[in-house]
Amino acid sequence: MNSTVPIITRCGRKYRPASSGGRTLNDLNDEVDALALEYIEEEEQVLRLRVLRARVAALSLPQPSRLLSAIDTLLASHYDEMGDLKTRRELEYLIHIALREKVKARRAGASTQMLAALATTIHYCRLELEDIPHTVLDIIFRELSWRIVLWFIVFILIVLLIFF
């Protein structure tokens, strides 16, 4: 995953995650890969959220943190049990809270490592939001495997050859 890909924000500005603080999304991937060896049954999204939660918990945010409670809520509700609409709402809420925390931290003169951790959290949530299907065709292609579609096409061709 390229961590320097620009993401368009709602206000139209380009956003790049802060690489200061020594951690990037590539480091997040490395940590998730290391955890995946230990927790084989966990989904990759859950492992990513656990790593992000640990990073945010290490920050000096005011307690109780709304950001931590939002991440805990998303971790408590399983991705496969949540619908796409609810997942989108939770991720958008998480992005909203993380952006507010980042603005508060910047105004308070927070360290670059804290700003980088919040920027990575925001960037990851936006990437997760892009993976959620938006249209009916996206949902159909996600639910149906390519083998089923291929067998369906072969079946139609056989029927066409037999009857015509």
Q: What is the pTM of this model?
A: 0.61
Ramachandran angles phi, psi of 69, nearest 5°? -70, -35
Which pLDDT tens digit goes with each residue over 68-121? 888 888 888 776 577 777 778 888 888 888 888 888 888 888 888 888 888 888
Query: Is 120 within 8 Å of 28 (Cβ atoms)?
Result: yes
Which pLDDT tens digit goes with each residue over 41-82? 877 778 888 888 888 888 777 777 888 888 888 888 776 577
Ramachandran angles phi, psi of 8, nearest 5°? -85, 125
Nearest alpha-carbon partner for 83 in 133, 138, 48, 137: 133
CA distance 15 to 25: 14
CA distance 57 to 63: 10
CA distance 42 to 99: 28
